[in-house]
Structure 1
């Protein structure tokens, strides 16, 4: 294995570990999003020479292929097609018209305010065109946006990456040749977008038909189904880029084409569908966190490598502030013209959060723009990213009174405790069970509300042999099923009485049903010993 490949895999492993630590810290400090912990931890790791020297130089193309493409695929796959189909005018407006207006007004502001050429100002603006739905959710925390605004911001972030890439390509050509062709840019955008839509649709539809054919056949294999699904974004992105189309748009379209499959075929092989959802959710969470780890790593590297220039010049700071402020003003005016509501327009303006894709675009011009120009663009982009994340995190919780309904943890714990006790009472009523079987079942039921402590696990379970006789194991399975059935009836009554909200009730019931599958599903290869 080549050293660069080994280092890349090692970097991913380090990023995944950091995500795990960040998630733990976020659970300890629930008011702070895990994304911020991941960003800070990524920066701290860079300060350790051994780790920093081990991690290879950031590869923007590899990052877009390996991290961003599956994330966008999963995001679009989980997006209701009705939202997208009903928002096409809005998508075109925000990702094309508004983006073009920003790329006209912002460079002109930079030119009049600072000594910067139009091509460089255009490049800087184009880099900061893409917004990031993941970064937005991190900035929001527990704040709940109006569904219309949230959907607009989400669909914008799905499609405006491609706009930024096309505009950036035009800007770098302009910078190198001194000429800019509006006709060529428009032609490039249309070809890139239409071609991507065709490629994404064809490949996604083909894979969907293959999976459906396998599902309906007698030789369906769940692992093959999952592999086909998970490989889709990589194949789609690579194919689209190979033909010089937008890999980003192709992946988003592929996700939208694929997302109707689960709803129509979830009961053909429920075990496979559930496994696919769980695996893709796990990967999405891991990659989402990794995005902020890499963001922290590269921002820290940029600041370290440019510290001399950073302290002696402030052009990058003013440029970053201007880009953010002017872009936010354009967003505000645009949405005000559409929506007529100043408050909603302000939320939309600061809701355009930038993240790792923006930084990846900035780093991608290293071969085209060099010297102080490159340093200014990188540092200014860093300012835009940080401002776009910090400002909504501080402002939105203040101006939006509606929050996500806080869950009463004490009430949930009380219901779980009562639920488990009902299950235990059901077991105690089964006189035909031996004391040993009852004790085993009760111990397992108490895991549901975390009655069993870490010490209990060591003393009562880890070093103690469980049931071994077939009859005892059969009785144990039967008893657990009876107990879980009683618990589900209890939760249903709590929801019916209004003690628990339906969402929380569904979540607890889902855990009970999953516990039942561990008992009755022979494919999990688990016994109750």
Structure 2
């Protein structure tokens, strides 16, 4: 009963965080509100959630990373693939090496291998927190795609570095060659497992649906199981479960382009996944805050390890680590953007310092950092306590919170009035796709009309209905092919029609509900009618 109560309390905190974030007079990212609520729960209630890193990884990370990989536009990610790889791989190694030596220099009592482990867990960025900040501070799409692509890959590279650092701390030895081979197996194996498993499941779904028909609920449940299956299989083979979940999501996006799923399946599945994303993201940060009282309770012992007695030294170390992380990221991003992403011609403008600063502030730490630092072993091979474990956890927690605060303040300042390099317009591409789709519809209507009307007495009815539909599509083609000067009037008329149709749909829905309240219409029939109106409104609002 206590476990159920705790779960319900965490879910209520997630709901409450959204309300509080909107009520506050100043802009506060929702993750910070969730951390504060979690800390309040940890202080007031007598509950303590013991976070098993393996369970934490399995429950929360596969679905979230799968969804990120599924929804990120592949063409945009591949367009900036070199930049993303430089940030996801090169920046992680650069950060681990630089921060490892810096932490060991600041805290000599922390062994170098443990310092590298701490540097590895603070190197991955968290797109969840950046997305929450972006809700109030709009981030250009291209920049957001780079950040999302980076975070999808740097989780795996950071955790692989953590694995090597922990192994070095336990054994006292490190082999660069073995580490490189292990990294290739972990990365390539994870990608192959995730993509391969998703492809097999997709083919199996299509065969079953072709033979027996498609059941929306089963299709949605399969999509929920895929990331967990990919993660577990990859981990069983000692590959990266995180990269497997990401690769599964990317492959799912390619499979969806085949258009085999029913429209109702896509609508319902989107709703389910949106709910899972909102809930899982919120619970992660609430749990992070709930751990704060326990971690701070051992702060005094952690301070003694550093050779000091004042707790304020911990704040000094946390600030120093965050400043160093930002500086390393600034330097790397500066060279990365100059060399790749924004270089289109010899006379193309170089990225200014505000753009680089915005990319640096967007490097927020979050769930991966928390889960990664909790995987540090409790004891060495000889049974003695793992050196500096509690201090590493406390510093990692401080880095997460301070990076969130810095991003919520600094990112809006950097983004204000910032102009990204111009992107080519896709209006012509969209209009051409609409025209081609309308022509395909006309051809299919004509073919189907002949097929259905063949040998029937009421064949004229099929011809008349088909003619009206084809005229509608031809009118759409003619309107889309008008002169550019006429497009402004067409868009104006479309906006007017949209507003009128939305008002009409609202009136229809109101009349249906009125009839239900007055017992003039059954609730089951009302639900069907309201569902139809909701789908129409969603299409218009989109």
TM-score by length of 1: 0.75
Once the two structures are superposed, what CA deviation does each residue of 1:104-157 show, in whole Å capped at 9, x if it has no partner?
122222333442432122111011111110011223442122333322211111
Q: Does 1:302 align with 2:295?
A: yes
Aligned with residue 378 of structure 1, among 393, 398, 404? 393
| Map of 2:410 onto structure 1 | 395
1:65 to 45, 58, 68: 58
Q: Cα gap change, 1:10/1:200 in structure 2, threshold over 3 Å: closer, same or farther?
A: farther
Shift of 1:24: 2.8
Is the contact between residue 126 and residue 368 of structure 2 (CA under 8 Å) also seen in structure 1? Answer: yes
Alpha-carbon deviations, 1:213-256, whole Å to 9, x = none?
23323343222111111100111101100111000000000000
CA gap 1:216/1:26 in 2 versus in 1, 3 angstroms: farther
How many angstroms apart in 2 are the aligned matches of 1:477 and 1:294? Answer: 38
Seen in structure 2, the aligned counterparts of structure 1 residues 46 and 403 have a Cα distance that, compared at 3 Å, is farther
Question: How far off is 1:8 after superposition?
Answer: 5.7
Distance 1:477 1:317 in 2: 56
> How far apart, in 2, do the equivalents of 1:46 and 1:291 lie?
14
Distance 1:201 1:93 in 2: 22
TM-fit CA distance, 1:481: 11
Choose from 78, 89, 111 the match for 1:85.
78
Alignment of 1:77-156 (within 5 A): 77-115=70-108, 116-156=110-150
- Contact 1:39 1:294 (C-alpha < 8 Å) held by counterparts: yes
Unaligned ranges ≥5, structure 1? 1-5, 405-413, 428-439, 446-459, 489-505, 512-529
Q: Given the alignment, which residue of 11, 15, 36 partners 1:16?
A: 11
Shift of 1:443: 6.8
Note if 1:220 corresponds to 2:214. yes
**Post-superposition CA distance 1:491-527 (Å, at most 9, x none):** xxxxxxxxxxxxxxx858249xxxxxxxxxxxxxxxx
Q: 1:281 aligns with which of 271, 274, 277?
A: 274
Partner of 1:320: 318
Change (3 A) 1:273 1:145: closer
Partner of 2:183: 189
SS for the counterpart of 1:365 is coil
Q: State the distance in 2 between where 1:77 and 1:134 align.
A: 15
In 2, Cα distance between the equivalents of 1:477 and 1:273?
A: 19
Larger mean Cα displacement after TM superposition, 80-89 or 125-134: 80-89
Question: Within 5 Å, which residues of 2 pair with 1:468-479?
Answer: none
Describe the shift of the 1:303–1:40 C-alpha distance in structure 2 as closer, same or farther (beyond 3 A). Answer: same
CA distance in 2 between counterparts of 1:201 and 1:15 reads 33
Question: Unaligned 5+ residue runs, structure 2?
Answer: 304-308, 339-350, 420-495
Deviation for aligned residue 1:88: 2.9
> Is the 8 Å Cα contact of residues 170 and 185 (structure 1) preserved in structure 2?
yes
User: Root-mean-square deviation (CA), in Å?
Assistant: 3.5
Deviation at 1:306, TM superposition (A): 3.1
Deviation at 1:79, TM superposition (A): 0.8
1:161-200 to 2 correspondences below 5 Å: 161-200=155-194
Q: Which of 24, 28, 35 is the matching residue for 2:23?
A: 28
What count of residue pairs does the alignment treat as equivalent?
442
Distance 1:88 1:318 in 2: 37
Paired position in structure 2 for 1:159? 153
Distance change >3 Å, CA 385–CA 418, structure 1 → 2: same
Equivalent in the alignment of 1:527: none
Distance 1:177 1:23, change over 3 A: same
Q: Displacement, 1:85?
A: 2.4
Q: CA 1:175–1:469 in structure 2 vs 1: closer, same or farther (change >3 Å)?
A: closer
The Cα of 1:28 is off from its aligned counterpart by 3.5
User: In structure 2, what is the equivalent of residue 467 of structure 1?
Assistant: 520
1:290 aligns with 2:283: yes
| Cα distance change of structure 1 residues 9 and 261 upon mapping to structure 2, 3 Å threshold | farther
Question: Could you state the TM-score of these two structures normalised by the residue count of structure 2?
Answer: 0.73
Q: How far 1:170 moved relative to its partner?
A: 0.9
Contact 1:142 1:403 in 2 (8 A): no
8 Å CA contact retained: 2:29, 2:408: no
Match 1:344 to one of 352, 355, 375: 355
The alpha carbon displacement at 1:294 in A equals: 1.3
Aligned residue for 1:50, secondary structure, equals coil
Aligned partner of 2:540 among 505, 509, 526: 509
**Which of 200-209 and 256-265 deviates more?**
256-265
Does the 8 A contact of 2:86 with 2:336 survive in 1?
no
Asked if structure 2 preserves the Cα contact closer than 8 Å seen for 1:119 and 1:175, the reply is yes
Of residues 82-91 and 64-73 in structure 1, the stretch that sits farther from structure 2 once superposed is 82-91
